[in-house]
Structure 1
Amino acid sequence: MTDREAIVPEGMEAVYEKIRYAPALKVGKTIYVSGQIGRDNAMQLVEDREAQIVQAFENLKAVLAAAGASLSDVVDLTTFHTDMRDLPLFMQVRDRYLDAHPLPAWTAVGAHMLGGQAGYIVEIKAVAVLPE
């Protein structure tokens, strides 16, 4: 069986210890990143819509870096949105972060609520594969 390694970047220890899930799990050369939301290192919601999307991508970037990967290693992206009308704004921010080619597969899903409390507008889940 391939070894599994929990990836817990600095600043996300509370997620692992209190909420009890790994920000990512590395299995071989594949990294499965849990949904990242727009909260800062103090576990506080970032309220501005664009800033919240940016924070979710920054959190994704931090988790990938802790696993030895980068956004260019992402092969599959799943995003959850409380309001699908935010997609144009989301895509503008996404394109600042994901510019490697080929682009990853992407699925966008509407969701009633994210992050266990009102105010979160996006959650980003990803799968990345480390290069050989």
Structure 2
Amino acid sequence: MPEADVRVAEVKAFKTKSGNTRFVLVDDESNEYSTFKEAIAAKLPGIEGRRARIKYHEQEREGFTNVYLDAVEPLEEERTGDGASDADEVAWRTTVEAAPYLLGGDAVEREIPPEELFEKLQPFKELVAEDIEKDGER
């Protein structure tokens, strides 16, 4: 099974025609790695802009090559003085701490699918990261 160290540019989630959710990790070279496995998808929130070690496999289907994500492991960032990765990390920690308030009372009592959790928390995380980065520019 091929393995690669990539910088994650974007994480997306799409509903398929059959009702399943396809999660896509896009690296900084625009390569896409898809998964339908929620256990893998649960590791994707907060990984944008960070380096990760991924395992994947390719599959030919109807003349197309699909690349499927089999595992993802966030890697420690090399400290370069770049405040953006620090801002993202702090923003995700803040978002996780605020999650019970952002998601409402029933969120603790029921299991929330990873894609729903990501969709609800990502906008708040982006706002927090922007605020942190703006404060750092002053």
Please say whether Structure 1 and Structure 2 have the same fold, judged by a TM-score greater than 0.5.
no
Q: Give the structure with the higher percent strand.
A: 2
- TM-score band by shorter chain is under 0.3
- Of structures 1 and 2, the one with the larger relative CO (CA 8 A, separation 6+) is 1
Which is greater in Rg?
2
TM-score normalised per structure 1: 0.23
